[in-house]
Amino acid sequence: MGVRPPTGHDVELAALAAAGDRQAFGELVRRHGSAVRGLLRRLGADSATADDIAQDAFLVGFEQIADYRGEGAFGGWIKKTAARLYLRKVKRDSRFVLTETAEDAAPAASDGSGAAADRMDLDEALKVLSKGERLCVSLCYGADWSHAEAAEALNIPLGTVKSHVKRGLDKLRVRMAPPSGSVSNDSARRENLG
Amino acid sequence: MADLDFEAQLSRLYGQPPVFRDAELFTQRVTQKLDRGWAVRRVVIGATGVVAGLVVAAQLIGGRFVSEFSAVSRDGVQKMDLGLDKVAARYDQLFTLGGTETLWLAAGLAAIALAFAVTRLVDEV
């Protein structure tokens, strides 16, 4: 007979983990592991790097679990930790230059065809963003960072973060917009209902 | 309004994590790393305890030896005129009375610390 995993709210599990209960923390990893791995990929990390950083984030999270007082969601807290670790790696590797470039200013790619499912696929849509835009949009909407927090962490001006986010959102809006046919169908449906 | 709708939709999409087929494997890897780190930490703490125990034992022996030796020296100076025979006798006393007790006590402490460390190591590995 195996040991049953602990149950309960994230805050309760975090309190147990803070007292040294590794099983409770394991349950938190089970619940939030995919979200953290997904966020890191959406920030721009490749699969292997994303998983390595996600593991490190949870290990750091266990070390610092006493700092989590349940004021926000545990998922948000651990995602912020993961994003911080990823940014540290990005800066260390100097892989990305987050200044405005011609690539950043390029208009969003609009394929004009493709299934609605593909259009709604966030991960696919993120591919049309520049690295800087992708990072800023994912930090602000995926890790719930404010623009100011992102600017400070990335060590770039606040205005640059706002530009990246705005241009990123514009591109995503175009990329993820429902096909014109479905819009007219929706309108027709609404008119019929009305 | 449309902007706000889109941003809300985006936040919602970000909130939906992708499904990973190896999610359970990832959890296992993290918990194994946690367990390994915990085990290493306990072994390090145990080893630190052993070293500290040995240092204490060494201090105990050394302190006893120094105090006894200084007492012998003082007495020796005072009783220089009484002759070297008495000093030699006192020096012998160091090893026959208090010194021997201290030595056994220190050895006992070291043995307990070593046994504790070995038990912990076997337990962890």
Q: Which candidate, A57, A70, A38, A14, places its Cα nearest to that of B34?
A: A57
* B106 vs A104 pLDDT, higher one: B106
pTM confidence score: 0.64
Which residue, among A135, A37, A31, A22, has the nearest Cα to A74 in the 3D structure? Answer: A31
Q: Which residue of B has its CA nearest to A26?
A: B31
Structural domain ending residue among the three candidates A64, A97, A130 = A97
CB–CB of A138/A39 below 8 Å? yes
Report the distance separating Cα A136 and Cα B10, nearest Å.
13
Residue of A nearest to B35 (CA): A22
Model pLDDT for residues A100-124, shown as the tens digit of each residue: 443 443 434 444 444 344 435 788 8
Mutate to test the interface with A, among B11, B28, B32, B34 (most CBs of A within 10 A): B34
Residues A2 and A92 in one domain: yes
pLDDT tens digits, one per residue of B28-69: 999 999 888 777 777 888 888 888 888 887 877 777 777 777
With bands split at pLDDT 50, 70 and 90, how would you rate the model's confidence at A97? low
Which is higher by pLDDT, B68 or A91?
A: A91
| Range of the structural domain that residue A35 is part of | 1-97
Residue A166 in domain: yes
**pLDDT score recorded for residue A181:** 54
Q: Which are the contacts of A147, defined by CB distance < 8 A and separation ≥ 6? A: A140, A158, A161, A162, A165
The secondary structure of residue B97, as a DSSP letter, is T
For residue A4, what are its two tokens?
A: 């049953």
Of B66, B124, B76, residue with least CA distance to B98: B66
Percent of chain B at pLDDT above 70?
Answer: 74
Contact criterion met (CB below 8 Å) for A184 and A128: no
- pLDDT average, residue stretch B102-108: 78
Which pLDDT belongs to residue A192? 42
Mutation choice for B interface testing from A13, A31, A56, A58 by most B CBs within 10 A: A58
> Chain A interface, mutation test: which of B19, B30, B32, most A Cβ atoms within 10 Å?
B30
CA distance A7 to B97: 63
CA distance, residue A63 to nearest chain B CA (Å): 10
For position A61, which CATH number holds?
Answer: 1.10.1740.10
Q: Is residue A156 part of a domain?
A: yes
CATH of the domain at A162: 1.10.10.10
Q: Is residue A187 included in any domain, yes or no?
A: no
B33–A173 CB contact, under 8 Å: no
The number of domains in chain A is 2
CB atoms within 10 A of CB B66: 10
Asked if residue A156 and residue A71 are part of one domain, the reply reads no
How far apart (Å, rounded) are the C-alpha atoms in residues A114 and A171?
16
Q: Is A65 contained in some domain?
A: yes
A157 occurs within a structural domain: yes
Do A21 and A58 lie in a common domain?
Answer: yes
Let me know if residue A168 belongs to a domain.
Answer: yes
Q: Determine, for residues B26 and A22 on separate chains, whether the beta-carbon distance falls below 8 Å.
A: no
State the pLDDT confidence band at A28, using cuts at 50, 70 and 90: very high
Mean pLDDT over all residues of chain B?
Answer: 78
Residue pair A148/A113 in contact (Cβ under 8 Å)? The answer is no
pLDDT score, position B25: 93
Query: Is residue A151 within 8 Å of A89, Cβ to Cβ?
Result: no
CB contact under 8 A, A30 and B27: yes
Q: How far is residue A157 from each of residues A88, A141, A153, measured CA to CA in Å?
A: 18, 19, 10
Q: Are residues A9 and A92 in the same domain?
A: yes
Q: Are B61 and B103 in contact (CB under 8 A)?
A: yes
Partner residue facing B27 (CB), from A29, A123, A141:
A29
The reply to whether residue B23 touches residue A35, judged by beta carbons under 8 angstroms, is no
**Whole-number pLDDT of residue A30:** 94
Alpha-carbon Rg for chain A, nearest whole angstrom, is 20
pLDDT of residue B61: 75
- Does the residue A39 lie in any domain? yes
**A76 and A2 inside one domain:** yes
Instruction: Give the CA distances from residue B2 to residues A97, A142, A161, A170, B9, in Å, rounded to whole numbers and listed in that order.
Output: 32, 20, 22, 12, 10
Q: Is residue A58 part of a domain?
A: yes
Q: Which chain A residue's Cα is nearest to B19? A: A34
Under 8 Å between Cβ of A165 and A140: yes
Question: Do A72 and A135 belong to one domain?
Answer: no
Question: What are the chain A neighbours of B18 within 8 Å (beta carbons)?
Answer: 34, 37-38, 41, 123
What was the pLDDT predicted at A71? 81
> Closest-CA residue in chain A for B20?
A34
